Structure 1
Amino acid sequence: MIRLLKFLWWSFVALFCGLLLSLSGAYLYLSPSLPSVESLRTVKLQMPLKVFSSDQKLIAEFGEMRRAPIKFADIPQDFINALLAAEDDNFANHNGVDLTSLVRAGSELLKSGHIQTGGSTITMQVAKNFFLTSERSFSRKINEILLALQIERELSKDEILELYVNKIYLGNRAYGIEAAAQVYYGKSIRDTSLSQMAMIAGLPKAPSRFNPLANAPRSKERRDWILGRMYKLGRIDKERLEQAIAEPIDASYHGPQPELEAHYIAEMVRAEMVGRYGSDAYTEGFQVTTTVPSTLQNDANLAVREGLASYDSRHGYRGPELRRPGMTKSAWLEELAKHRSIGGLEPAIVTQVEKSGILVLLRNGEEQAVPWDSMKWARPFLNTNSLGARPQQPGDVAQTGDLVRVKRETDGSLSFTQVPAAQAALVSLDPSNGAIRALVGGFSFDQSNYNRAIQAKRQPGSSFKPFIYSAALDKGFTPATLVNDAPIVFQEAGMEEAWRPKNDNNTFLGPIRLREALYKSRNLVSIRVLQTIGIDYALDYVSKFGFNRDDLPRNLSLALGTANLTPMEIARGWSVFSNGGYKLDPYLIERIESRDGEVLYKANPATVPVAETFAKEQLKDELNGTTDSPPVLAERIIDGRTTYILTSMLQDVIRKGTGRRALAMKRNDLAGKTGTTNESKDSWFSGFNADYVTTVWAGFDQPESLGRHEYGGTVALPIWMSFMSAALAGKPEHLLPEPEGIMTLRIEPLTGRAAPPGTPDAYFELFKSEDSLPAASELDPALGIPGGPLPADQAAPIDLF
């Protein structure tokens, strides 16, 4: 018996020593390749890119992993108890490895022949999640054990738990418990109930199998088991247990909820961030603050959508998007699920037609009435210029099974509508530094992510004329200069047909002052002015506004706005008029911060000096340490007196010209210009005061006529007015003060000369101090003044170049 005991004892010693030597050998072999645990203290978890408005409203979030790291001190104790009950109830006592769990896992392996559970502690899972792969092998398990032992030696239990709860994947792109609480319950983990915490604590074991959105019964089973474990471990009492188990599984998907609809802006930021940081832009947790205030962006969204809807309704109803008569409600719901909301316009299927209106089925399964009054506009669309008969009853507009669009009004009712066929873009800049204050690239990003504000090159038409007039004012012209508004023919060598430009209404006014020619948008005057100042001079001059010279035609059609330019380029050029002659570069990103709040980038745009002391004051601030970088002064590219005089001329466009609709805004500080291209394919309005410069374009993506009676003043201008009215609400009138070197003289309207006392209809005009008024005999023949206008069929040919 003694011999047997000695044998067993020495066998045990040998086995123990052998195991010890094996583990020592494994440690000596593997330890050189083990990563440093110290790196866990500075680990950077993948976090998405977030884009905010200037007032910190969330615009968008980009990245595959939704994560919001949380500090250990902010983790509720109930959640810690639930997690430990589910994953590692001996966490507080072991040193990284739980021998009981490992033995149990080994036993299961021997019985079944394959790995059932890994016997991993939370510390071992931290080791695996941060340093190892998910490969199931003995070598990986040994590495996991060794790392866990090191982690426990170098980190506290609180630090280990903090790492674990922020790293684990919990389904639906949620990484970490804070992101999971937001995804499943739309709130912070600190605000969830005990039942909800237990549900989240049950996810690490199998995020897909116990996911409450995919498998609610199994999720409830897992949750209840965890609650029972908490009760057995003394973490909760029976009353709390019963209350938590009685709660239903109320999880629902809560994706990233933008607080501001600005998808085109978000995409511009995403592209710029990828350009700066590559793929790290999606994972490093950058937070980007843009220059766009949420209020102005909301105003812009509303202006574009209402403006396009108004234009669209004037041209009739194009019919339902689909017809699905005779289908069951469930089949209709399946069809509705295929169609998204576009610009707030919801898809709906007509289920009943009544005298008072129609009944429609919505995607959520509800049926709601649409009143007849909201349908009376829907005359049948025949073509751009023709409509069918006015409908007399709802049945003239819609039939059962029609898939239509409805808009929810502020009182909750529905109105009948359709998705506009035309598109529009709006850009608004701060003329003092080029900051983008609002940008809309189309009716809806969900409909089309093509950003017309920065990508669509279209002809600006007459909204380009102010650049030619500005060039003329710097070439010696004055607002009182007379130019002949008369027919003219251009014959280029080798051309079979001559070019015979004409005014929009095909009328001619004869000698006309430059001011009047601008607000009446006389094409022939613009051409004669460009011909007089010269193409090369004009191209050099206009290029200073930031336009690519290659985009500008080298012929007299330039005067009519035949260049292909984007709304952003036009707005940038117009900012020079509104700020007194300074060139700016539009910018969108105000600040980039790291995940820790460190400012990585702060915009320092070239800024227009607001006074002569601007540079001195900025320099003083820099020396006192109150600015982050030296100030950058914007480059003056044209005379401030030129912009002042031109602004006065553009104010007349609104007072008595093609922009008269804007008088309804009842402001005296607005200046602007309409633009309409041939056959009304493009509609423009650009305008400003000293606070904002805004450009609006409207048209079809594939150029076609907007309609016989549609112009810049009927399509683009109402959108501009809607936005600017909201943007300037409550703001005092603001135009730049008169610069030095301006004189005001009384002028004869017919000759443009200084008016003697008592001259009837004389008016006051602005001039630069060096300007001299010509006598009638000195009027420039190149402007076509002597002899008056010729009839159209007697116009003399003039070479085009």
Structure 2
Amino acid sequence: MPPQGLQRHLPGEVTRQEMIRLRKALRKNLRGKPSLPIPAYGTQEAIALLLTRFAKTAILAIVLLLFLIGGFGSGVLFGYISTTKPVPADLLRSGSETTYLYDAKGEFIAKQTGSQNIDRRYVTYNQVEHTAIANAFIAIEDERYMTHIGIDPKRIASAILSALANGGTPTHGGSTIVQQTVKLVTGDNQVSSQRKIQEWYRAIMLDEQLSKTEIMELYLNLVPMGNSYVGIEAAAEGYFNKSAKDLTLPECAFLAAIPKGPAIYNPRTENGMRNTLRRQQVVLAKMYQLGKISRKDYDDALKTDIVLAPVPEDKAQAKVNSYFVEYVISQVVDRLVEQGLSRNIAYQYVSSGGLHIYTTMEPAVQAALDEAFSKKDLFQKNPSFYEDYPEKPEAGMVVINNKTGAIAGMQGGFGEKTTNLIWNRATDLQRQPGSSIKPLVAYGPALDIGKFVGSSIIQDKEVFFNGPDKPWPTNYDRQYRGPVTFRNALKGSLNVPAVTILKAIGVDTGKRYLKNMGIDWTKDEVGLAAAVGAPQHGVSPLQMAQAYATFPNNGVYRPAYAFTKVVDKDGNVILENTPEEQRIFKPETAFIMNTMLEENLRKSTSAFGMYTDAGKYGPVVNGNKEIISTGGKTGTTDSNVDKWFAGFTHYYTGAVWFGFDNMVKQTAIPEQDWENPVRIWRAVMDKIHINMKDKPFDRPNDIVERKINIYDGLLATPSTPSNQVMTEWYQENSPLIPKQNSGRASIKDDEDSDENGDGSGLFDRILKKLRPGSTRRGDSDSNSGSRSGSDSRLDTDSD
């Protein structure tokens, strides 16, 4: 038996004479259709609109015929049904329970108590069954709700016939409350015969799965009620400042009038209020016609004025979630969407479905991030300098546990987070990475495929890779250093060698390596400019952190993740993250890259003499001031708009972006704050490693060492000046290990040779092959697209 609240009929029937008088009174009171803005259609628009309306009618007619014919129609019908995903109704039965989140140690960190995290908006049917709300919706939306099987063939046929009789526009819809619930759950609302058939099938299945009371409860909590209210509880509080359980008959009829078109029946506008009151009268008349209210109830309701409460302000301060918690919730929602839920329903389920979400957040790491991002001096060395700036500098940072690939912590902006669902600079930001991309797209791949070694000589001199009229690329200081080793070119963040290397291995090769590390530029038109971090599409700190973690992980890439598992209220694991991994670089490549990136955090003692901001601040230290093996790379974009630092130890990898949001105008970072991303990174990483011991990066057994002369890449001799000697590492049996001794302190540009296969003359070999007969100018790279080098952003990378 259905619950009493859904079968509330009065003794006797409404007489024919009463209904005639009722209709006349309604016609007199309503005085026309709801007011709508009248669009000014041109001839083409009017024709298109007419065709669209008839097309919809034709689709409905064809769908109806498919049910009536066999053969092809039945085959199509079977195909549509066989691909239909079931409605995940079981997930939504308990939508009023708090969801809890836990850190990596299983300790409670946050809870969700509703979609807005303010108060509960879900209402059970038992709480409102004594009101007229269910019957009001049944009367106006689905009068045979209690007797049909989820779909109402009579109503469907009536809708089609009314559409045919009215030029393609039906006078009423054909969807039952069950069908509407299906659409609200799945979010599938496209206009197609396949979607409609699948909706019918899902409605029938849902009607079998749940009782009419349970379906009504879902519907009452999911139905859009205008002004960002979802469900009758939120609407009752928003419009009348009361709970749904306290609604009167006129208020129930008023609310039931809104879902037909929340924009048209918007009580907060003058026209919308008038439209809603008219439709409220229709709802009341229908309730009386169906015997759900008495004549006295009907008359009294018509005489009752509807008074809206003032637009409500939040009755309680919203609980503000951290950037990490919001990111976790978004990831869980994404996974549920993959399983067939609509995004709205998935978010509601995560927010108030009684789930237990086990995150990867490490309390010590997050505390270090929170502390650093609260220190103004790490963001503004001179705060008074920014008094007239339209914006203040911001930053975003992600820290990843190298062992697992799990996100240990993140911060999406400076200072206290004061509201929910705001821009997270750790994950949402997309900015060009500048030179911080060089190890990932050029140097790492070049070592890995065996085309270069650390002692390979690259000529840092004027080149014309983007056409004969203008040198490109250039270095940040417009100076050239002549022959430099592969290792020193990376340490000095020189643009000419980086582009030369990418040209030698191929842009597609570099992009393929990037894609395998979670940065997909394969569809980006950027060509050689990728070597200096100037794509059309940027990267986030999260992407940079997970890509850089490949180096301390011995060349293995692990996609970052923020939660390990999600458990429902009954203890069932409904989602689980199993760490994945993919080898990107050989272990030998990773080790050699680690030694190169370590040098970026050391002050130079060689004749090369270059070091960057990272070298000024040095490697991570623990609480005893012991050095922790550290590697990393800075990055800067044109005019110092963006500053980056990505770095790692054996334990953790972190990436920082620093700059302005540029919501008002593009703002360059003042020179006094150029070092801030490194300073922020060190503040966080020193805190994380305070109780850790140094652990050098893993060295494969087949790595060999050689002492080389930094000016020619050949073997150092006793006569080589000590400040020109550098240790270089190679994979054993590499054909590029130098065999010839260096007898000179330096090499002039025109004296390069490669007679011994040591790579020392590689640059000129590339030039001769690519530009026969030319010693200076060359063609632009065919794979570079329109941004291969013309962007001035490429010429000013200062690190």
Q: 1:766 aligns with which of 721, 729, 743?
A: 729
Distance 1:514-1:315 versus aligned 2 partners, 3 A rule:
farther
**Equivalent in the alignment of 2:578:** 604
- Cα distance in 2 for residues equivalent to 1:601 and 1:523: 45
Instruction: Summarize deviations over 1:145-183 as a string: whole Å, max 9, x none.
Output: xxxxxxxxxxxxxxxxxxxxxxxxxxxxxxxxxxxxxxx
Distance 1:318-1:644 versus aligned 2 partners, 3 A rule:
closer
Instruction: Summarize deviations over 1:300-353 as a string: whole Å, max 9, x none.
Output: 12223426x54335363555xxxxxxxxxxxxxxxxxxxxxxxxxxxxxxxxxx
**Equivalent in the alignment of 1:337:** none
**Equivalent in the alignment of 1:533:** 505
| Paired letter, 1:430 | N
- Secondary structure, counterpart of 2:462 in structure 1: coil
Bigger radius of gyration, 1 or 2? 1
**Equivalent in the alignment of 1:434:** 405
Contact 2:709–2:715 (8 Å) recurs in 1: yes
- Cα distance in 1 for residues equivalent to 2:329 and 2:374: 20
CA RMSD of aligned residues (A): 4.2
Contact 2:461–2:481 (8 Å) recurs in 1: yes
Q: What is the total number of aligned residue pairs between the two structures? A: 470
| Paired letter, 1:482 | I
Distance 1:795-1:552 versus aligned 2 partners, 3 A rule:
farther
- Cα distance in 1 for residues equivalent to 2:563 and 2:439: 30
- Cα distance in 2 for residues equivalent to 1:697 and 1:136: 52
Contact 1:52–1:59 (8 Å) recurs in 2: yes
Contact 2:378–2:680 (8 Å) recurs in 1: no
Distance 1:487-1:59 versus aligned 2 partners, 3 A rule:
farther
Mark the runs of 5 or more structure 2 residues left unpaired by the alignment. 12-91, 136-242, 248-314, 604-610, 622-626, 741-751, 768-773, 782-799
Distance 1:128-1:454 versus aligned 2 partners, 3 A rule:
closer
| Paired letter, 2:778 | I
- Cα distance in 1 for residues equivalent to 2:126 and 2:670: 67
- Secondary structure, counterpart of 1:480 in structure 2: coil
| Paired letter, 2:732 | S
Distance 1:784-1:680 versus aligned 2 partners, 3 A rule:
farther
**Equivalent in the alignment of 1:500:** 472
**Equivalent in the alignment of 1:688:** 648
**Equivalent in the alignment of 1:129:** 126
Percent of aligned positions with the same letter in both sequences? 22
Q: Does 1:490 align with 2:465?
A: yes
Deviates more, 1:685-694 or 1:505-514: 505-514
* TM-score normalized with structure 2 length: 0.52
Contact 2:117–2:319 (8 Å) recurs in 1: no
Q: 2:587 aligns with which of 619, 640, 646?
A: 640
Instruction: Summarize deviations over 1:217-266 as a string: whole Å, max 9, x none.
Output: xxxxxxxxxxxxxxxxxxxxxxxxxxxxxxxxxxxx98786797745435
- Secondary structure, counterpart of 1:282 in structure 2: helix
Q: Does 1:751 align with 2:731?
A: no
| Paired letter, 1:446 | T
Q: 2:636 aligns with which of 648, 671, 676?
A: 676
**Equivalent in the alignment of 1:716:** 677
Q: 2:327 aligns with which of 262, 265, 285?
A: 265
- Secondary structure, counterpart of 1:439 in structure 2: strand
| Paired letter, 2:655 | T
- Cα distance in 2 for residues equivalent to 1:536 and 1:643: 21
Contact 2:730–2:737 (8 Å) recurs in 1: no
Contact 2:357–2:565 (8 Å) recurs in 1: yes
Distance 1:318-1:255 versus aligned 2 partners, 3 A rule:
closer
- Secondary structure, counterpart of 2:530 in structure 1: helix
- Cα distance in 2 for residues equivalent to 1:301 and 1:514: 38
| Paired letter, 1:54 | A
- Cα distance in 1 for residues equivalent to 2:516 and 2:322: 36
Contact 1:485–1:525 (8 Å) recurs in 2: yes
- Cα distance in 2 for residues equivalent to 1:556 and 1:720: 29
Contact 2:433–2:637 (8 Å) recurs in 1: yes
Query: What are the equivalent positions in structure 2 for 1:158-237 lying under 5 Å apart?
Result: none
- Cα distance in 1 for residues equivalent to 2:424 and 2:694: 32
Query: What are the equivalent positions in structure 2 for 1:105-504 lying under 5 Å apart?
Result: 129=126, 132-135=129-132, 262=324, 264-265=326-327, 268-269=330-331, 271-272=333-334, 275=337, 278=346, 279-306=348-375, 309-314=377-382, 316-319=384-387, 381=388, 421-443=392-414, 445-446=417-418, 449-467=422-440, 468-474=442-448, 475-492=450-467, 497-504=469-476
- Cα distance in 1 for residues equivalent to 2:132 and 2:534: 64
Contact 1:47–1:65 (8 Å) recurs in 2: no
Contact 2:620–2:630 (8 Å) recurs in 1: no
- Secondary structure, counterpart of 2:357 in structure 1: strand
- Cα distance in 1 for residues equivalent to 2:680 and 2:586: 31
* TM-score normalized with structure 1 length: 0.52
Mark the runs of 5 or more structure 1 residues left unpaired by the alignment. 1-22, 31-41, 70-125, 139-202, 208-252, 320-380, 384-418, 607-633, 788-793
- Secondary structure, counterpart of 2:522 in structure 1: helix
- Cα distance in 1 for residues equivalent to 2:711 and 2:323: 53
| Paired letter, 2:382 | R
**Equivalent in the alignment of 1:737:** 698
- Cα distance in 2 for residues equivalent to 1:540 and 1:770: 26
Distance 1:266-1:767 versus aligned 2 partners, 3 A rule:
closer
- Secondary structure, counterpart of 2:618 in structure 1: helix
**Equivalent in the alignment of 1:704:** 666
| Paired letter, 1:59 | A
Residue 267 of structure 1 and its aligned partner are, at CA, apart by: 5.0
| Paired letter, 1:796 | R
- Secondary structure, counterpart of 1:735 in structure 2: coil
Instruction: Summarize deviations over 1:422-448 as a string: whole Å, max 9, x none.
Output: 221101112222211111222354378
Q: Does 1:63 align with 2:114?
A: yes
Distance 1:205-1:433 versus aligned 2 partners, 3 A rule:
closer
**Equivalent in the alignment of 1:46:** 96
Residue 470 of structure 1 and its aligned partner are, at CA, apart by: 0.7
Residue 646 of structure 1 and its aligned partner are, at CA, apart by: 0.4
- Secondary structure, counterpart of 1:686 in structure 2: strand
| Paired letter, 1:767 | Y
Residue 504 of structure 1 and its aligned partner are, at CA, apart by: 1.6
- Cα distance in 2 for residues equivalent to 1:480 and 1:206: 80
**Equivalent in the alignment of 2:51:** none
| Paired letter, 2:671 | H
Whose strand proportion is higher, 1 or 2?
1
Contact 1:453–1:566 (8 Å) recurs in 2: yes
Residue 741 of structure 1 and its aligned partner are, at CA, apart by: 1.5
Contact 1:274–1:281 (8 Å) recurs in 2: no
Distance 1:461-1:758 versus aligned 2 partners, 3 A rule:
same
- Cα distance in 1 for residues equivalent to 2:521 and 2:349: 36
Query: What are the equivalent positions in structure 2 for 1:506-585 lying under 5 Å apart?
Result: 506-550=478-522, 552-563=524-535, 564-585=538-559
- Cα distance in 2 for residues equivalent to 1:591 and 1:53: 11
- Cα distance in 2 for residues equivalent to 1:469 and 1:137: 67
Contact 2:100–2:108 (8 Å) recurs in 1: no
